Structure 1
């Protein structure tokens, strides 16, 4: 019979402690406190053995012991440790553990930390599970919590990620609203003002992807009135050219404008994808003879 690993032995000791009956002179809370410490030790030993699923499970059991002792801060930390272990190959379990962490943090009014964990959930949905809808919801929730904690730059980054995802999901009005919100939040600061033209460019591309060049033009003039330097930017000129080309059904001018813009500004994946959708939309429009 193979000998038990140190981690396995520690886990059994923790289980034994958690399931023991409390003696005459010890309270059940001290029993769970000790069991929690033992589960934590077992989890750390499992990590040394690179057994991350088992480490996550041990931290989850530690968290349950902390909850039985009404130790909310320690429970939040234990759930977070569980999530970090589960992240190594078990994204669904990581999300569950992070959700437990968030429950404890929001109850304690620690919304800044809750936002950090919610953002982590968004990243797992996006990168590991490719669930754009859930990722978008998490980024929006995190953004709202950051905003109420006065972490405006971090909130804007989350709302911008949510806007990109709304556009990927072809929910263009929601995307436009989010880009405009982030732009409004960035206009007031000299540090963030430079990024506003990027948000407005994305908002206008969303309007064009909806097949609505009139809204794109109207928004362009609205943005130019909010910031007088905008109309002279490469972004604004690019939107003007392609909007005119779309209204005229002129594919050559559109393609040339996109090529020229890419030479100078290098289109990222998001812009490339949305421009392909815009192009496809024009090609599919019925021509009036």
Structure 2
């Protein structure tokens, strides 16, 4: 029988402690406190051995001991440590541990940290399981918590990510509403005002991807009323050129407008994808001429 690793020895010792019936003088909370410390040592020892699943399991046990001692902050920390270990290849377990972390953080009013963890969940859904719907829900929730803690810039970044995801899911009205929400917030500060044209461009692409020229035109008027400088931007001119091309069912002038814009401002993958959707729409519906 192979010798047990140092981590396994510590883990067994922690198990024994947690399951022991205390003596005459020991309270059950001191028993769980000691067991929690041992689980934590075991977890760190597993990390040294690069056994991340085992490390996560040990941190989870530590968290449960902290909960029995009513130590909310220590429990939140232990769950977060478990999540970080699980992130090395066990995304579902990482999400479960982060969810436990968030429960403790919100109960103790630490919404800023809860938002950080919720954002992490969103990123795991996106990168590991490609679950756009759940990623979007997490980003909105994180954004709401940041907003209520007055972390407006961070909230906006989450809402923008949510808007991109809504668009990827073909939920264009929701995407437009989110881009406009972020633009409204950005207009309020001279530092972020320059980024507004980007959000309005994205919202306009969503309207065109829905094949809704009326909304696209109406929104452009609304945006120009909100910020008089918008009309003269390359973004606004680009949208107007696209609207004209779509309305005329003219693929060539559509492509021309895209190429011209791309020469000065490189189009990212998201915009390129949206423009392809819009262009396919022109192919499906020949012009009314």
Question: What secondary structure is seen at the aligned counterpart in 1 of 2:92?
Answer: helix
The answer to whether structure 1 residue 11 and structure 2 residue 4 are counterparts is: no
Q: Cα offset for 1:285?
A: 1.7
Aligned residue number for residue 99 of structure 1: 99
- Give the TM-score normalised by the residue count of structure 2: 0.99
Structure 2 residue matching 1:218: 3-state secondary structure: helix
CA–CA distance in structure 2, aligned partners of residues 279 and 59 of structure 1: 52
Q: Kindly state the Cα deviation for residue 138 of structure 1 after the two structures are TM-superposed.
A: 0.1
Q: Structure 1, residues 20-42: CA drift from partner, whole Å, max 9, x if none?
A: 11111000000000000000000
What CA deviation, in whole Å up to 9, does each residue of 1:144-167 have, x standing for no partner?
000000000000000000000000
CA distance in 2, matches of 1:182, 1:240: 22
Counterparts of 1:49-198 in structure 2, within 5 Å, are: 49-198=49-198
1-structure distance, mates of 2:25, 2:285: 82
The CA RMSD measured in Å over matched residues stands at: 0.8
Instruction: Quote how far apart the aligned CAs of 1:63 are.
Output: 0.2
Q: What CA deviation, in whole Å up to 9, does each residue of 1:101-121 have, x standing for no partner? A: 000000111100000000000
Matched, 1:220 2:223: no
Contact 2:53 2:86 in 1 (8 A): yes
Tell me the CA shift for residue 287 of structure 1.
5.6
- CA-CA distance at 1:214 after TM superposition: 1.3
Contact 2:250 2:287 survives alignment (8 Å): no
Work out whether residues 13 and 38 of structure 2, in 8 Å CA contact, stay in contact via their aligned partners in 1.
yes
Equivalent pair of 2:159/2:178 in contact (CA under 8 Å): yes
**Structure 2 Cα separation of the partners of residues 218 and 211 of structure 1:** 14
Q: What SS does the corresponding residue of 1:176 show, helix, strand or coil?
A: helix
Query: Which stretches in structure 2 are left out of the alignment for 5+ residues?
Result: none
Q: 3-state DSSP class of the match of 1:155?
A: helix
Name the residue aligned to 1:250.
250
Shift of 1:275: 0.5
| Alpha-carbon distance, 1:260 to partner | 1.0
Q: For the Cα contact (< 8 Å) 2:249–2:285, is it kept in 1?
A: no
**Counterparts of 1:223-238 in structure 2 under 5 Å?**
223-238=223-238
Per the alignment, do residues 129 and 53 of structure 1 end up closer, same or farther by CA in structure 2, a change over 3 Å counting? Answer: same
In structure 2, C-alpha distance between the alignment counterparts of 1:215 and 1:151, rounded to whole Å = 32
Question: Secondary structure, in 3 states, of the residue corresponding to 2:26?
Answer: coil
SS at match of 1:190: coil
- Within 2, Cα distance between the matches of 1:187 and 1:95? 35
Give SS of 1:229's match: helix
TM-score normalised by the chain length of structure 1? 0.99
**Distance in structure 1 (CA, Å) of the matches to 2:206 and 2:288:** 25
Rounded to whole Å, the distance in 2 between the matches of 1:85 and 1:91 is 10
User: Whole-Å Cα distance in 1 between the matches of residues 9 and 279 of structure 2?
Assistant: 63
CA contact (8 A) 2:247 2:287 kept: no
Q: Deviations over 1:210-248 (max 9, x none)?
A: 001111111011101111110000000000001000000
The answer for the alignment partner of 2:239 in structure 1 is: 239
Give the equivalent residue in structure 2 for 1:275. 275
Query: Partners of 1:105 and 1:245 in 2: how far apart?
Result: 51
Match for residue 30 of structure 1?
30
Moved over 6 A (4+): none
Q: After TM superposition, give the deviation of residue 124 of structure 1 in Å.
A: 0.3
Aligned residues: 289
d(CA) in 1 for partners of 2:288, 2:164: 34
